[in-house]
Amino acid sequence: MKHNKLFAAVCLILCCTVVGTAGADFKTGLDAYQRKEYQTALKELKADGGADASYVLSVMYFRGEGVEPNKTEALKWLQRSAEKGLVRAQYNLGMMYDKGDGVARDMAAAAKWYRRAAEKGHAQSQFNLGLMYTNGEGVEKDKQEAMKWLRKAARQGHGKARKLLKVMSEK
């Protein structure tokens, strides 16, 4: 339950701050979404089909905005967005697999999606991937690889990564 509220809050914030080279369908769809005109938003976002549009659609299906809540459909749109390279979608997809939220828990899949976002500089994904290497979850246990990802997160100011690095270096 706590994870769902966090995911929904993060999604809402990110949806309201989407910026980029989106097409007219996306802008129209996002404007409709923000006005809570969900049927128009669904139509326009599906017509756009881009990474940002797919991400907003995943949020709508996850939260049940204008549609019945449907985690399977949310996953479909999130996967499309992640495959098109949207970092926040890659991170959220990693989270879904990590927690088993709407999908079967799959740590290897979580590591795959965290890695994609981590390689693009996403600090929380770097931290999560570092933890996975520390514990051998979804990847082979590898202290060097863990330290590499934790350092990257720490350099971006990730407090938990800094603390974990300190503990690891003391051992």
pLDDT, mean of each 10-residue run, the chain (171 residues): 48 46 77 96 95 97 96 96 98 96 95 98 98 97 97 97 90 67
Instruction: Give the C-alpha separation, 84 to 163, whole Å.
Output: 33
Residue 18: per-residue pLDDT: 47
11 φ, ψ (degrees, to nearest 5): -60, -45
Residue 170: per-residue pLDDT: 75
Residue 4: per-residue pLDDT: 52
The pTM of the full predicted model, rounded to 2 decimals, is 0.83
Ordered by where they begin, the domains of the chain are: 1-105 (1.25.40.10), 111-171 (1.25.40)
Q: Which two tokens stand for residue 78?
A: 């999130």
Residue 169: per-residue pLDDT: 84
